[in-house]
């Protein structure tokens, strides 16, 4: 299982801009909302995952947890 800390800091999204077309961005709903609102990345590139819930994707189990924990 992969445990991912999801958060939105400028030093983590350098190079991400409105014209993003390089592929999917896997993130929490909260982070996706911030990326869509502040950077204006097209929604089609935002793959949203719920927090604190194990999700299976492509044979991998993912768990997003709050980065402040």
Q: What is the dihedral of CA 30, 50, 17, 14, to 10 degrees?
A: 90
Tens of pLDDT, residues 17-64: 999 998 888 888 888 999 999 999 999 999 898 888 898 888 988 888
Distance between CA atoms of 42 and 39, rounded to whole angstroms?
Answer: 9
Domain spans, the chain: 2-10+22-66
CA dihedral (17, 45, 43, 64) in degrees, to 10, reads -100
User: pLDDT value at position 51?
Assistant: 86
**Entry pTM:** 0.77
Q: Read off the pLDDT of residues 17-26 as tens digits, 9 standing for 90 and up.
A: 999 998 888 8
* Whole-number pLDDT of residue 2: 47
Which helix (DSSP H) or strand (DSSP E) does residue 40 occupy? none
**Is the pLDDT assigned to residue 9 strictly greater than 60?**
yes
CA distance 9 to 25: 15
């Amino acid at each position: 299982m992969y445990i991912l800390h999801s958060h939105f800091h400028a030093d983590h999204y350098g190079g991400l801009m409105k014209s993003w077309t390089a592929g999917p961005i896997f993130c929490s709903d909260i982070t996706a909302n911030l990326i869509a609102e502040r950077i204006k990345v097209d929604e089609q590139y935002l793959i949203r995952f719920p927090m604190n819930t194990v999700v299976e994707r492509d044979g991998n189990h993912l768990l997003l947890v709050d980065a402040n924990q």
